[in-house]
Amino acid sequence: MSAPPPPVLEARGLVRSFGGVRAVDGVSLAVRAGELLALIGPNGAGKTTCFHLIGGQLRPEAGTVRLAGRDITGLPPPRIFRAGVGRTFQITATFGSMTVRENVQMALLSHAQRLFGLWRPARRQMRAEAEALLARVGMAEQAERASGVLAYGDLKRLELAIALAGRPRLLLMDEPTAGMAAAERRALMALVARLARESGLAVLFTEHDMDVVFGHADRVLVLDRGRVLAEGTPEAVRADPRVRAAYLGGVAA
């Protein structure tokens, strides 16, 4: 009998401080294939910093990040992308001078290492793949629109399509449903959950909306002032008195 495969993402003892304040202070977490882990906590708890440490936007001062057992600590974002991490941003980031489909094509071309072509028009390359991805996130009809004019919820879905274009093993989603209507949120998260189950994708996401968290996450990790406060199934976390005291008390009572 072989040992169980290592978790897709395993972070250990991550530390990062800004101006003497430890924004992330010894956080460890792990996400397995097919699992959705929600990272929650009050504002300033260190969620986004945590994401940046894993996604390569920031370098940790201490700690390691492993992707399927491989050390990716401190690599720049492009290398982390190539290692198999896709991400969406809290404030959406798309290429405003491209259409929706071109945004996805861009990610596909990058994944296929075809960035340095000088002759064949980009918009004619990997078009079907891009459309398939857009169809998966429900953006097929908007493929020809400029990404700069999209509604907020559509931008989030486009970001998801872009993130998926790299065939990631791990998806990092910073507030994937912020600004969406309730029905939209449920649809998007259901989609993400389905993708995770079907293709063994590991998903780490932050979220303010507790309905989303408790409705879709397999496990929940609570951060407070840079430290892990609690971790477990949604039910266990919800029941945890420390969590209730520190965080949920005022919100979900």
Cβ proximity of 98 and 75 under 8 Å: no
Best CA proximity match to 164, nearest among 144, 190, 135: 135
Stretch that binds other proteins, among 66-74, 82-90, 201-209, 224-232 (CB under 8 A): 82-90
Among 12, 22, 32, 82, the residue binding other proteins under the rule CB under 8 A is: 82
162, two tokens: 């872009």
Number of residues that bind other proteins (CB under 8 A): 47
Site for other proteins in 107-166 (CB under 8 A): 107, 109-111, 114-123, 125, 146, 148, 162-163, 165-166
From the CB of 89, what's the least distance to other proteins, in Å?
3
Angle at 63 between CA 247 and CA 26, to 5 degrees: 25
Site membership for other proteins, residue 205 (CB under 8 A): no
Specify the residue, 62 or 115, whose C-beta has the smaller distance to other proteins.
Answer: 115
Query: Tokens in use for 242?
Result: 């420390």
Give the one residue of 15, 33, 68, 98 binding other proteins; rule: CB under 8 A: 98
Instruction: Give the nearest distance from C-beta 60 to other proteins in angstroms.
Output: 16
Residue with tokens 């477990």: 232
Are the beta carbons of 171 and 198 closer than 8 angstroms?
no
Give the span between the Cα atoms of 164 and 162, in whole angstroms: 5
CA–CA gap between residue 170 and residue 83 (Å, rounded): 9
Q: Which residues bind other proteins (CB under 8 A)?
A: 52, 55-57, 76-79, 81-82, 86-87, 89-99, 102, 105-107, 109-111, 114-123, 125, 146, 148, 162-163, 165-166
